[in-house]
Structure 1
């Protein structure tokens, strides 16, 4: 019998709309792609989510990925409010599952910066019964731990 539902956050309960976010900052599609390769699509983004390094150390890794666009990288990640988008159904979905007796958890790779700066898109979190956010436990899924 299923008693617990475990959700990821990105593109399940909230959108991870990095490309659109970079374009809203004024970068054209080609530069948004380039910024993506240096940041969110790089393995270094995992370290951001793991939460073991300072923001400045992570930004330095992003810059190493494409030093020619250092200024653009720094601008793109100085504030990331808006990189996550609100899914209007998330809160109601979580509440409905809880009303039906399910325990509802979250298991997601997410950085402290996203949690702090994108809180409005993550409004379902207070309704969760618990879970793991990678930066809090210093672990990334799918690590066995």
Structure 2
């Protein structure tokens, strides 16, 4: 992350220096016009999602439906912290799409909160819910 910030700072400084290099005293915009193929079509969040397999956080009815489906597996799966549960669901999507081994155990570990434990059988049910809702 620090390298990206440094490269961005150097690139910005170079571009700012070059914009003041007009030969006739007039500012010249030497940037090429963007072509339709060069115009970004996806947000930075969507690009990150595509690379990591982590979907955007669900909101509104999508979030409520996800939490209800996970609650049907077991109240212990949702626990007291719904935000933590949604974060665990998003991260588990990455494991599902990334071909991780032992997904059921991974889900059980990821969704356990506090003193509650989640079984691998519940982990399997969690994965089924996620494949149908958040990370098809």
Which category describes the TM-score, using the shorter chain as reference length? 0.3 to 0.5
Between Structure 1 and Structure 2, the one with more strand by share is 1
Which is richer in helix?
2
Could you state the TM-score of these two structures normalised by the residue count of structure 2? Answer: 0.35
Q: Which has the higher contact order (CA 8 A, sep 6+)?
A: 1
TM-score (norm. length: structure 1): 0.33
Higher Rg: 2
